[in-house]
Amino acid sequence: MNIQQEIKNTTMVWKALFLREALTRLFGRRFSWFWLFAEPITHIAFFVLIFTFIRVRHIGGMETAIWLMIGMSAFFMFKRTATQSMNAVDSNQALFYYRQVLPVDAVLTRALLEGFLMTIEIILLITLATLFGFNFSPAKPITILGAYCGLWFFGLGFGLVSSVVNGVIPESAVAIKFLLTPLYFISGVILPIASIQNPYREWLMLNPVAHGIEAAREGFAPYYHSVPEMSLGYLWILGLIAFGFGLVLHRNYSVKLVTQ
Amino acid sequence: MIIVKDVYKRYQTDHGPGDWVLEGVNLKIPKSVSVGLVGSNGAGKSTLLRIIGGVDYPNKGSVDRKCKVSWPMGYAGGLQGSLTGKQNATFVCRIHGHEDDLEDRLRFIEDFAEIGEAFYEPVKTYSSGMRSRLLFAMSLAFNFDIYISDEVTAAGDAAFKNKAAKAFKDLSNRSSMIMVSHGEGTLKEFCSAGIWLHHGKAYWFDKLDDALKAYKESLAA
């Protein structure tokens, strides 16, 4: 088969997978689409309420509510992409029966769908918050784009790697879930990393997700005192490494994921 | 033309790798010849079919498909339980490049399967008969050069069996088949050539009768 035909086949598979995933994600159960959007928004609204109630007005020179909204939405961009793409292989097992459908296709399309849905969600969140009187000033649009895309990309890399690892060593699924829960607390989503002393801060900043979250905040408030160690390049480099490693794993282990 | 090159296959068991099922299978299957696979139980007929169909992969060796080859018909695989029959059918139409005439294909599948409103229900609620009806209808909806069939005519109840047999007959007139069946009559009806699987090796016979003869002689010995 020539390359042109292969590309055509792959795009056909991606389109079919994307539409199939979108359908279950949005309409799989009653009001799935509603919960999909309502879950992160209520989650964020809840924390904004708590923090304004205990009167923390500013964090690092940024309005707390906006600090939370940006940080949490950025975190969800990573977390949702990572978990959704990690489970993509399991959820499409029967479809690998058709030889043109590979596990890596399922992971990639799921990540694409999740990134697409999260983008809509973030726009929805910002619009709603603006209607409630919060003022967003996207001062550095390139940084914002780089941060959210970087978190998405790192989530995809994470998903590519973990989908193979979970398939080859089933016990690891528990360990990975174990890892993801504290990530919420150590990524500086609700507790500002900038207020932590060195050397502990440097240790926390080994986590690439924290870099993306801080960068997103900086993009929305140029006067924001972000963590000094923050670097978007670090997030992207680790994302690239995870992505490349994940592709290699899929190339070597896809047969193992498909056959029983 | 399908070229099977030096294919080795063994399965993982609870006690490490099992015995070799296929040990160096070499075959050239022409596009226009229907072939029947014969061999005793456990000789690796279904394994070879699955490898040719691309559902399973060899431990060593390769399969080169130079024409449009169907997925193996007659298995319960290939249906995602959480999706409805229609969604499964839509997916399969799309990956085979039938985006433009999707509606026609879906109507054909729905009409042929005759599972009524269940077509719009998740596949996990189906009985095994309903599953095989849907799968059979799906495999008829596309034009493959070579169909791979494992006891496919055994699907469904009496009424459906007749319909399936007729459709299968029509199919055999326009495409060729690679099939496994324990009914000698079925093989003779559809196939001209034969492959005999014995002790992990495959032997090609231009005439099915010769393959059956070799198979029977091995049983007698």
**Is the minimum CB–CB distance between A252 and chain B shorter than 8 Å?**
no
The percentage of chain A sitting over the pLDDT mark of 90, rounded to a whole number, equals 40
Q: Please indicate whether, in this complex, the C-beta atoms of A8 and B97 are within 8 angstroms of each other.
A: yes
Among A84-93, A233-242, B13-22, the least confident range: B13-22
Place of tokens 């904004």: A48
Q: Please indicate whether, in this complex, the C-beta atoms of A28 and B82 are within 8 angstroms of each other.
A: yes
Query: Distance between CA atoms of B67 and B3, rounded to whole angstroms?
Result: 11
Q: Tell me, what's the pLDDT at A115?
A: 95
Those of residues 36-95 in A touching chain B at CB distance below 8 A are 91-95
Q: Please indicate whether, in this complex, the C-beta atoms of A24 and B56 are within 8 angstroms of each other.
A: no
Q: Tell me, what's the pLDDT at B154?
A: 60
Q: Please indicate whether, in this complex, the C-beta atoms of B57 and A259 are within 8 angstroms of each other.
A: yes
Helix (H) or strand (E) holding B17: strand B16-29
Pick from A51, A62, A66: which is nearest to A222 by CA? Answer: A62
Residue A243 falls in which region: left (phi positive, over 0), alpha (psi -120 to 50) or beta? alpha
Pick from B210, B179, B201: which is nearest to B44 by CA? Answer: B201
pLDDT lower than 50: segments of chain B: none
Written in H, E and C, the secondary structure of A121-188 is: HHHHHHHHHHHCCCCCCCCCHHHHHHHHHHHHHHHHHHHHHHHHHHHHCCCHHHHHHHHHHHHHHHCC
For A106-157, how does the pLDDT look when each residue is reduced to its tens digit (9 = 90+)?
Answer: 999 999 999 999 999 999 999 988 898 888 888 888 999 999 999 999 999 9
Phi and psi for A83 in degrees, rounded to 5? -70, -40
Residue B21 corresponds to which tokens in the numbers above? 């099922």
DSSP A256: H
Helix (H, G, I), strand (E, B) or coil at B23: strand
